[in-house]
C-alpha cells in the first residue's frame, strides 16, 4: 500500500515497472533496491549504475552579489570558484555546527546552484534566503521541478558518449569531447529536448561518474534513453547500494556523521572551513570560540568475519570503557569484511588502535583504520 503522505519523484512509475522495492527516505518514496543490493553495488564498481536522486534539493542563486551572498552563507569561499566548477561546502549554524553539507556549482559569473540533501532541502532554501537578505541576489528553490539522475561507475563516461552519438539524442550544447575532457568536480551546461541540462562529473559512490539535472517533464525519457543506450552495462540502482558505496568511499552522511551538534573538525572537515581565505561568515565566530580539545572525532573501523556493526552500536576500549559510538556500518561488498565509521574519544582515534564494538550483545573486535576504506585505481 502506498503511503499517501510520501512525496514521489517524476520517475516513480518507471521504478514500479522495474519492480523496485521502496522505502521512506526523508519523506520521499524512493527505490531502495530493484533486485539485489550486492548486484547493484557490484555493477557500480565494475560497470555502471543508474540512480534517481530527484529527492535532492536544487537552489539557484542569481544576481550581481550571488558570490558574496554565498561567501556569507557557507563555510567555503565560493567567490573564488571558476565558472563550470563545483565545490563541496558546509552550511553552518551560528555555533559552528553543520546544518547540511552541500555541493555548489558556478554556472555563470552571477549564477550558482546549491545542491542540498533531501532531508534538508527546504531548511537550506530558507536559510539561504535569510542569509541572502541585504545582498543583490535572487534565491530560487527549483527542487520541485528538477530531476537528478546519476550514472556512476567506470563505464559511465562511455555510456554518456554513446548517448550523445545515438540517433536523436535530444542533447545540444554538450559534446563528447566536453565529457571526456571534463575533470572531477566540473559541470557543463546544455539542453535536453530544449530544456536546461546540467552534466556534472560528481557523485557519492567513490567511482567515476556523472550527475544529470533536467526538468521533471523530461526525466522519464532521459532515464529510458540512458537505459537503452547503456544496455547490459547499466543497472538501475537503489538507495541501499548507494549507502554501502558511499560508506566504502568514506563519505559522510548527514544525520549519521554530520549534524548540528557536530563541528566540521570533528568529522575531519576542518579544511572545508575558509577561516584563512575570507572574512566573516555565518558560523565563523562559533568555530573560533569552540573548545575542541577532547571532543569525539570521526574514525574508520575495520573487522574480520561477516558480522557488521550498525549505527548506534557502542564502541569500547580494551579495558571495557565506552569510548564512542558507531554512526554507519556494513559488511563491505567490495572488501568482503565489516567496516564502520564511528565517533570516538581522541585517545582512541589513532590508526591501529584495537577496540571492541557491541553487535547485538556480542563483542566484535575492530581496529582503527585510515579512510577511505576503498579507493578506485
Per-residue pLDDT, 337: 98
Widest CA span in the chain: 66
SS3 191: strand
Strand, coil or helix: what is 229?
A: helix
Rounded to an integer, the average pLDDT of 3-19 is 93
| The pLDDT value given to residue 377 | 82
Instruction: Quote the pLDDT of residue 375.
Output: 96
The pLDDT, as a whole number, for residue 1 is 46
pLDDT at 60 over 80: yes
Whether 286 shows a pLDDT value over 50: the answer reads yes
Tens-place pLDDT, residues 30-59? 999 999 999 999 999 999 999 999 999 999
Please tell me the predicted confidence (pLDDT) of residue 4.
67
Q: What is the mean pLDDT of the chain?
A: 97
User: What does the pLDDT average to over 8-29?
Assistant: 98
Helix or strand run (H / E) with residue 354: strand 354-359
pLDDT per residue over 353-364, tens digit each? 999 999 999 999
**Which has the minimum average pLDDT: 1-15, 71-85, 210-224, 244-258?**
1-15
Q: Average pLDDT, stretch 248-257?
A: 98
Contact criterion met (CB below 8 Å) for 105 and 61 = no
Buried b (16+ CB within 10 A) or exposed e, 35-44: eebeebbbbb
Q: What is the pLDDT of residue 20?
A: 98
Predicted confidence (pLDDT) per residue in 304-352, tens digit? 999 999 999 999 999 999 999 999 999 999 999 999 999 999 999 999 9
pLDDT reading at 3 higher than 80:
no
User: Which residue, among 298, 295, 300, has the nearest Cα to 337 in the 3D structure?
Assistant: 300
Q: What is the pLDDT of residue 2?
A: 52
- Is there a contact between 210 and 178 (Cβ–Cβ < 8 Å)? no
List the Cα angle 208/265/319 in 5-degree steps.
105
Q: What angle do CA 235, 238, 244 make, to 5 degrees?
A: 100
pLDDT at 104 over 50: yes
Q: Which residues pair with 30 in a beta bridge?
A: 23
Would you say residue 93 has pLDDT above 90?
yes
201: DSSP letter: S
Q: Which three cell numbers stand for residue 148?
A: 537528478
**pLDDT (tens digit per residue) in 171-211:** 999 999 999 999 999 999 999 999 999 999 999 999 999 99
Helix, strand, coil % over all residues of the chain, rounded to 5: 30, 35, 40
pLDDT at 329: 98
Amino acid at each position: 500500500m502506498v503511503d499517501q503522505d510520501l512525496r514521489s519523484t517524476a520517475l516513480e512509475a518507471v521504478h514500479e515497472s522495474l519492480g523496485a522495492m521502496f522505502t521512506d527516505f526523508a519523506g520521499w518514496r524512493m527505490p531502495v533496491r530493484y533486485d539485489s543490493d550486492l548486484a547493484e553495488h557490484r555493477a557500480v564498481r565494475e560497470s555502471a549504475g543508474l540512480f534517481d536522486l530527484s529527492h535532492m534539493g536544487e537552489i539557484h542563486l542569481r544576481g550581481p552579489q550571488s558570490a558574496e551572498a554565498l561567501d556569507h552563507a557557507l563555510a567555503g569561499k565560493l567567490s573564488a570558484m571558476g565558472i563550470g566548477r563545483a565545490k563541496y561546502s558546509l552550511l553552518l549554524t551560528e555555533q559552528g555546527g553543520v546544518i547540511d553539507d552541500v555541493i555548489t556549482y558556478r554556472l555563470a559569473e552571477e549564477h550558482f546552484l546549491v545542491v542540498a540533501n533531501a532531508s534538508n532541502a527546504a531548511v537550506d532554501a530558507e536559510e539561504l534566503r535569510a542569509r541572502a537578505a541585504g545582498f543583490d541576489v535572487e534565491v530560487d528553490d527549483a527542487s520541485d521541478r528538477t530531476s537528478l539522475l546519476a550514472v556512476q561507475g567506470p563505464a559511465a563516461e562511455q555510456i554518456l558518449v554513446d548517448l550523445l552519438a545515438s540517433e536523436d539524442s535530444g542533447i545540444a550544447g554538450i559534446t563528447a569531447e566536453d565529457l571526456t575532457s571534463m575533470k572531477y568536480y566540473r559541470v557543463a551546461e546544455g539542453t535536453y529536448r530544449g530544456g536546461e541540462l546540467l552534466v556534472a562529473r560528481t557523485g557519492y559512490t567513490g567511482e567515476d561518474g556523472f550527475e544529470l539535472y533536467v526538468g521533471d517533464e523530461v526525466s522519464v525519457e532521459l532515464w529510458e534513453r540512458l537505459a537503452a543506450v547503456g544496455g547490459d552495462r547499466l543497472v538501475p540502482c537503489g538507495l541501499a547500494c548507494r549507502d554501502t558505496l558511499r560508506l566504502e568511499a568514506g563519505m559522510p552522511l548527514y544525520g549519521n556523521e554530520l549534524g548540528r551538534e557536530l563541528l566540521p573538525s570533528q568529522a575531519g572537515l576542518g579544511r572545508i572551513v575558509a577561516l584563512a581565505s575570507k572574512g566573516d561568515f555565518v558560523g565563523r565566530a562559533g568555530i573560533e570560540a569552540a573548545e575542541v580539545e577532547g571532543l569525539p572525532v570521526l574514525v574508520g573501523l575495520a573487522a574480520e568475519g561477516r558480522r557488521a556493526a550498525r549505527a548506534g552500536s557502542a564502541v569500547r576500549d580494551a579495558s571495557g570503557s565506552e569510548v564512542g559510538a558507531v554512526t554507519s556500518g556494513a559488511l563491505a561488498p567490495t572488501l568482503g569484511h565489516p567496516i564502520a565509521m564511528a565517533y570516538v574519544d581522541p585517545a582512541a582515534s589513532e590508526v591501529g588502535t584495537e577496540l571492541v564494538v557491541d553487535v547485538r550483545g556480542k563483542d566484535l573486535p575492530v581496529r582503527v583504520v585510515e579512510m577511505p576504506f576503498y579507493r578506485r585505481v
